[in-house]
Chains A and B, each alone.
Chain A
Amino acid sequence: MYPHERSLVERLAGEPFAIVGVNSDKDREELKKTISAEKITWRSFWNGGSTAGPISTRWNVSSWPTIYVLDGEGRIRFKNVRGEQLDASIDQLLAELKAKAK
C-alpha cells in the first residue's frame, strides 16, 4: 500500500487532497522507525496500540487495510477502493470540488 500512497501524495501535491491514517500497530517507537524508513509523510491517528483499539472498533473495521474516501464536504463516497479505482475515485471527487469552486 505505501508505494501507491506515496505516488498519490506526489501526484496530487498542491491539490486539495490528504491521506489520514488510523494506525493499529502495537509499538509506537517501532512505528516511528517504519514511518521514517517507508517515507510516510501523511498523519495517522493512533488506535491505542491494537487492532481492537477504540477507533477501529467504533468504525467496525475487521480487515486491514480498510479504505474510506471522503469528498470535500466530509461525505463518505467510496469504501475499500484499491489501485486504479482508488485513483479514479479521488480524481472524480477533486473534479467535483473544482466544478463547485467555479
Chain B
Amino acid sequence: MKPTQMLLLLSLAAPAFALHPARQGSIEVVKDSVAELRAEFDAVPKNQKQPGFDQKALDDKRVELAKRARALMEGNPRSEPAVRIRVWMVTSGVEAGSSDSLLDELMTKDIASPALGDLLDVLRPNSRPDARARVETLVEDAGDRGVRGLALRTLADHVKYDLDGLRAVEAGDVSVATHAKRHGDDRSESLRKSGANEVEKQYVALLERVAKEYGNVLDSRGRAIGPRAEGALFELQQLSIGKIAPEIEAEDIDGTTFKLGDYRGKVVVIDFWGHW
C-alpha cells in the first residue's frame, strides 16, 4: 500500500477517534461488551431440560441484556461494535419481537458491515418466511465480500431445500397439497412447473459460483466455504443413488492402508461414525 493510500484510509477511519478522543474509551467498552453479553446470555438455561431452568429468571435476563445492549449502541450506533451488538441481538433472539426492525436497520444503514455474516445463521431455509428474500438482498447489496459469499452459499441451501421438496413430490413421498402448504400456493406451483431438473441446474450453478468466487471465505465455524461447496457438487454428481461409489483408499485405525474396492462382490454398509 502506498503511503498516500494509507493516509487516506486513516483519515476515513479516524474522525470518530480524532475529533472525540474521549469517546475512544467508550468504543472499547462496547467492543468487550458483545462478548460479555453473549457469554451472559449463553450461561442462562433456555429450556426445561437444562438444570436450573427458571422461566422468570430467563425472562428477566432477556429484558436486562436487551436494555444493556441498546444502551451500549446508543452513543455510536453506526460503529462496528454497535453493528456487532445488533447482529448478536438478532442471532440470539434475546429480545422478542424486535428482529424484523433490527434486520431492516442492519440491511440498510449497516449494509456495508463485515459483521453481517453471522446473520446468515438465522436466514437458513425453513427458518423465517422472509429468509430467502433477505439472503438475496445480501447477495446483491452487502458491501463486504465475505458476507456476499456466505449469502450466496445460503442461497444455494435454499435452492437445495426447494430441490429436495420437488424430488419428494416427484417420487410420490409428499403430496402436492403438503408441498403447497410448505412453500405457499404460488411458489409451489411455479416450482413444480420448473421441475426438479431445472432447479438442480440452478443449485449446481450457485455451488460452482461459491467455489470459484468465494472459496476462501470462512463460515461462522471458521471453515472455508469453497471445499464444502465442492463437496456438495461431488455428492450431487458422484454420490447419488445408482452411481458406482468413488474409491476410498486410506489408512485404517492401525495405520495400514486399505481400499473400499477390496470389498467389491459384497454388499457393503459404509458407516461414517465417531464415538462421541
The residues of A with any CB-CB pair to B shorter than 8 Å are 1, 5, 8, 15-25, 28, 30-32, 34-35, 38, 43-47, 51-52, 54-61, 64-79, 86, 90, 93-94, 97
Q: How far, in Å, is A57 (CB) from chain B's closest CB?
A: 6
B223-265 at interface with A (beta carbon < 8 Å): 223, 227-228, 231-232, 234-235, 239-246, 248, 250-253, 255, 258, 260-261, 263-265
Select A17's contact among B234, B245, B252, B267, beta carbons within 8 Å.
B267
> Nearest B residue to A61 by beta-carbon distance?
B272
Select A60's contact among B234, B268, B273, beta carbons within 8 Å.
B234
Contact between chains at A64 and B273 (CB < 8 Å):
yes
Q: How far, in Å, is B244 (CB) from chain A's closest CB?
A: 5
Contact between chains at B272 and A58 (CB < 8 Å):
no
Contact between chains at B275 and A18 (CB < 8 Å):
no
Q: List 21 A-B contacts (CB under 8 A).
A: A15-B267, A16-B266, A17-B269, A18-B268, A18-B269, A21-B272, A21-B273, A22-B271, A30-B275, A44-B253, A45-B258, A46-B255, A54-B250, A58-B234, A59-B234, A59-B246, A59-B272, A69-B270, A72-B266, A76-B242, A76-B243
> Nearest B residue to A44 by beta-carbon distance?
B253
Q: Which residues of B contact A54 (CB under 8 A)?
A: 250
> Nearest B residue to A30 by beta-carbon distance?
B275
CA distance A90 to B268 in the complex (A): 8
Contact between chains at B264 and A74 (CB < 8 Å):
yes
Beyond A21-B271, A44-B252, is A59–B239 a contact (Cβ under 8 Å)? yes
Q: Which residues of B contact A22 (CB under 8 A)?
A: 248, 270-273
Q: B97 in the interface, Cβ–Cβ < 8 Å?
A: no
**16 new A-B contacts at CB < 8 Å, known A22-B273, A76-B243:** A20-B269, A22-B270, A22-B271, A23-B253, A23-B273, A24-B272, A25-B276, A45-B252, A47-B250, A59-B272, A60-B235, A73-B244, A74-B263, A76-B240, A76-B241, A86-B269
Q: Is the interface of A mostly helix, strand, loop or mixed?
A: mixed
Select A46's contact among B228, B251, B261, B271, beta carbons within 8 Å.
B251
Select B275's contact among A34, A43, A68, A70, beta carbons within 8 Å.
A34
Q: Which residues of B contact A86 (CB under 8 A)?
A: 269
Contact between chains at A45 and B251 (CB < 8 Å):
yes
Contact between chains at B271 and A78 (CB < 8 Å):
no
- Counting chain A CB atoms within 10 Å of each CB, which of B248, B255, B270 scores highest? B270
Contact between chains at A70 and B267 (CB < 8 Å):
yes
Beyond A17-B267, A57-B231, is A43–B250 a contact (Cβ under 8 Å)? no
Q: B274 in the interface, Cβ–Cβ < 8 Å?
A: yes
Beyond A74-B261, A75-B243, A76-B241, is A28–B271 a contact (Cβ under 8 Å)? no
